Amino acid sequence: MIKKTTLAAIAALLAGTALPNIANATVTVLGWPGGSEEAALRAATEVYNQTAADDDKVELIFFSRDGFYDKLQADLAAGSDAFDINLIATYSIGRYAPYMEPIDLGSAAESVFGKAVLETMQYEGKQYGVPTDLSLHFMYYRTDLMDELLGDDDAKAEYSKIAEEYLGKAMEPKPADEWTWDDWAATALYFTKSVNSESPVRYGTVLQMKNLLFNMMVFQSLPRSYGADWRDAEGNVTIDSEGYRKGLELYKTLYDAGATPKDSLSYEYAETNAAFASGQVATALQWNAAAAELTDPEKTPAVADVTGVVAPPAGPKGRADHIHGLGLGLNKNAANKEGALKFLQWLATEDAALLYAENGGSPALMPDVVAKIAEERPDLVDLGNFASQYGYVMDGGTSANALSIYEVQAREFTGYWSGQQSLDEALANTKAEMEKLLNQ
């Protein structure tokens, strides 16, 4: 059901007379099928069409998710005008940019989404879409376990001993929102049964280590907080860096110590949720989408009431949180570019973004904007705050071969974590492949 809170404001922004249907739609939008993204887009479009002029009416079409991106590229490359607006994603913009037109979302867009979020829809300095749904990562942790640790002097002493043994330095436990990556690692080790027999849970964390490109997005905020990037200002690939070495070694330290389940080499999103929900895991770096499940007492009764959320830990360069988004952009061969641009610019307004969020979408909004729906969508408060403060896109992260780069990293890094190759070999192989992919 469409929320009505912003309808009056939206009506004031649009001209024309409402019509009962959109049979004569002249702006066609190809959206992402299924889930909250489709529901939110349908709701927003219905409101838009209630007050839009006849020649600005919007009609939605959806492909199957299977092979979606390949079919989209084929249609765009063939010069199709079957849709005026099409879905884009941060990590695939480079594939589609040659067949799309940059757009101007208007001066108010940055005050709605923030600079970092708008950059998820940019390629080579140009804006190719309006960001509709954002994904990033939360550090989930057990508040009850941390409260007990911070209030027990004997436990603190054991924590310090474990940190010195595994990380080479004596450390004191800190509240989760003050963690560096070493603090998180020490905490994970302390809450690992095979390391600390007194631990109330079996594992200190659960790592997503499967040979899967999306797991690299979860991992890379660690090296990024040490200043790591894919390439420098001159275009040189910089994957063999202090940051990546630190991150890769820290993951392996935790894996080898048993701080994460031994079958973590086959883990991704679903397995991480299941492990944390079992009540036997103290922390988990996981996608923001998991909050709806892990903090819901009906869905996750064992831990929902004691699950806290903070941003990923800090490195020497501060906190960093990988962000990517789904958005909508303009087909170069659109039959109605003028009407399409009107709709895209409307989607970038505050009222439209709030309407989209109220109907299940996940836009990352600036703090003063998201505050207006904080009670209804508390998860979006953290999403917007973390995105605006810590969000980043790697240099090359929107290139035509971005997904292939993540696939290379997944293969090589999993090979290192599993003991099939050395760290030097993993980084050398990754660098060689990235140089090929980024120079194509």
Strands 137-142 and 307-310 come out as antiparallel
pLDDT for 67 beyond 90: no
- DSSP states of 1-32 as a string? ----TTHHHHHHH--S---S--TT--EEEEE-
Q: How far apart are CA 196 and CA 202, in angstroms?
A: 9
pLDDT for 300 beyond 60: yes
Would you state the structure tokens that stand for residue 298, as one six-digit string? 């009906």
Return the C-alpha torsion angle 90, 94, 95, 99, nearest 10.
110
Q: Which of 2-11, 20-29, 91-100, 417-426 is predicted with the least confidence, judged by mean pLDDT?
A: 2-11
The pLDDT score that the predictor gives to residue 10 is: 43
pLDDT for 7 beyond 70: no
Are 162 and 195 contacting, i.e. CB atoms less than 8 angstroms apart? yes
3-state secondary structure of 141: strand
Euclidean distance between the first and the last CA atom of the chain, given in angstroms as a whole number: 47
Which residues are within 8 A (CB) of 178 and not within 5 positions of it... i.e. 6 or more apart? Answer: none
The pLDDT score that the predictor gives to residue 64 is: 82
3-state secondary structure of 58: strand
Average pLDDT over residues 27-47: 92
Would you state the structure tokens that stand for residue 145, as one six-digit string? 């376990």
Q: How far apart are CA 362 and CA 351, in angstroms?
A: 14
pLDDT for 267 beyond 60: yes
The pLDDT score that the predictor gives to residue 55 is: 82
Band (pLDDT 50/70/90 cuts) for residue 18 is very low
The pLDDT score that the predictor gives to residue 440 is: 64
The pLDDT score that the predictor gives to residue 69 is: 83
Are 349 and 90 contacting, i.e. CB atoms less than 8 angstroms apart? no
The pLDDT score that the predictor gives to residue 221 is: 97
* Higher pLDDT, residue 407 or 292: 407
Average pLDDT over residues 266-282: 96
The pLDDT score that the predictor gives to residue 25 is: 59
Are 195 and 360 contacting, i.e. CB atoms less than 8 angstroms apart? no
pLDDT for 19 beyond 70: no
Instruction: Tell me the β-bridge partners of 134.
Output: 325
3-state secondary structure of 135: strand
Q: Which of 205, 210, 202, 201 is nearest to 186 (CA)?
A: 205
pLDDT for 319 beyond 60: yes
Band (pLDDT 50/70/90 cuts) for residue 352 is very high
Q: Which of 306, 337, 202, 181 is nearest to 257 (CA)?
A: 202
Return the C-alpha torsion angle 350, 351, 353, 354, nearest 10.
110
Strands 314-315 and 318-319 come out as antiparallel
CA distances (Å), origin 376, targets 45, 163, 369, 372: 21, 41, 13, 9
To which H or E segment does residue 240 belong? none
Q: How far apart are CA 249 and CA 244, in angstroms?
A: 8
To which H or E segment does residue 194 belong? none
Each residue's pLDDT tens digit, 100-140: 999 999 989 999 999 989 999 999 999 999 999 999 999 99
Which residues are within 8 A (CB) of 33 and not within 5 positions of it... i.e. 6 or more apart? Answer: 62, 63, 64, 65, 68
The pLDDT score that the predictor gives to residue 247 is: 98
Mean pLDDT of the chain: 92
Q: Which of 102, 209, 189 is nearest to 149 (CA)?
A: 189
Q: How far apart are CA 220 and CA 243, in angstroms?
A: 9
Would you state the structure tokens that stand for residue 132, as one six-digit string? 């509709």
The pLDDT score that the predictor gives to residue 249 is: 98
Are 222 and 246 contacting, i.e. CB atoms less than 8 angstroms apart? yes
Each residue's pLDDT tens digit, 388-405: 899 999 999 988 899 899
Average pLDDT over residues 344-359: 96
Q: How far apart are CA 328 and CA 313, in angstroms?
A: 32
Band (pLDDT 50/70/90 cuts) for residue 22 is very low
How do the residues of the chain divide into helix, strand and coil, expressed in percent and rounded to 5? 50, 15, 35
> How would you class 373 by CB atoms within 10 Å of its CB: exposed for 0-12, middle for 13-18, buried for 19 or more?
buried
pLDDT for 344 beyond 60: yes
Q: Which of 120, 147, 149, 143 is nearest to 310 (CA)?
A: 143
The pLDDT score that the predictor gives to residue 123 is: 92
Which residues are within 8 A (CB) of 302 and not within 5 positions of it... i.e. 6 or more apart? Answer: 277, 278, 279
